[in-house]
């Protein structure tokens, strides 16, 4: 028997399955920007550890970005570079905070928008929430998506500048 107070029932009554094209484009922009961030952070870690691109691609292959950043922080701590360690700790914290929109978009089912909040997307991440029998449902405000895009673009530009300063692309195996 359906619980009339179930939040899914409330959202379902207000759901519009048509996602505006502008929102779909922002979702795509976010995924593409975060792919660049993930790649450039791997390249930055390779440079920091003194690796060529090919060696870095082997060592940091498929490693979670949070783990790459933790390793960079750990290296800075080992060489007593407190400023660098603090930078990587903040970058990791910011990355985790801004990654929620990207993770929802890339890994959860977007079922539309609500008519009451047309600037929010609704996702079913297929996760348990609360007690047994309760599935998660999440709303993602589009301004959060835009913030994550802008953060990713800034970080990617900063990392690319670092790579250029350290001649990452001139290193050969």
With residues binned 3-state (H G I as helix, E B as strand, rest as coil), the percentages for the chain, rounded to 5, are 65, 10, 25
Q: Cα dist. 16→10, 60, 159 in Å?
A: 13, 41, 39
Beta bridge partners of 155: none
Question: Among 149, 166, 147, 140, which Cα is nearest to 47's?
Answer: 166
**pLDDT of amino acid 167:** 84
**pLDDT of amino acid 1:** 42
**pLDDT of amino acid 8:** 60
Over its C-alpha atoms, the chain yields an Rg (Å, rounded) of: 20
The phi, psi pair for 20, rounded to 5°, reads: -55, 145
**pLDDT of amino acid 136:** 82
Which segments in the chain show pLDDT lower than 70?
1-12, 171-173
What are 15's two structure tokens? 């759901």
In order, the DSSP letters of 46-87 are: HHHTT--HHHHHHHSTT--HHHHHHHHHHHHHHTT-HHHHHH
């Amino acid at each position: 028997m359906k619980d009339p107070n179930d939040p899914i029932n409330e959202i379902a009554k207000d759901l519009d399955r048509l996602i505006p094209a502008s929102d779909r484009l922002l979702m795509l922009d976010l995924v593409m920007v975060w792919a660049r961030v993930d790649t450039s952070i791997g390249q930055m870690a390779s440079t920091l550890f003194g690796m060529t691109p090919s060696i870095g691609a082997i060592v940091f292959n498929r490693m979670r970005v949070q783990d790459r950043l933790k390793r960079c922080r750990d290296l800075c701590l080992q060489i007593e570079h407190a400023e660098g360690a603090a930078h990587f700790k903040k970058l990791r914290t910011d990355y985790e905070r801004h990654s929620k929109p990207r993770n929802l978009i890339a890994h959860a089912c977007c079922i539309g928008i609500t008519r009451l909040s047309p600037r929010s997307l609704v996702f079913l991440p297929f996760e348990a929430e609360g007690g047994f029998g309760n599935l998660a449902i999440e709303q993602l405000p589009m301004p959060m998506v835009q913030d994550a895009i802008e953060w990713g673009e800034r970080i990617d530009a900063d990392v690319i500048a670092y790579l250029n300063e350290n001649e990452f692309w001139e290193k050969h195996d």
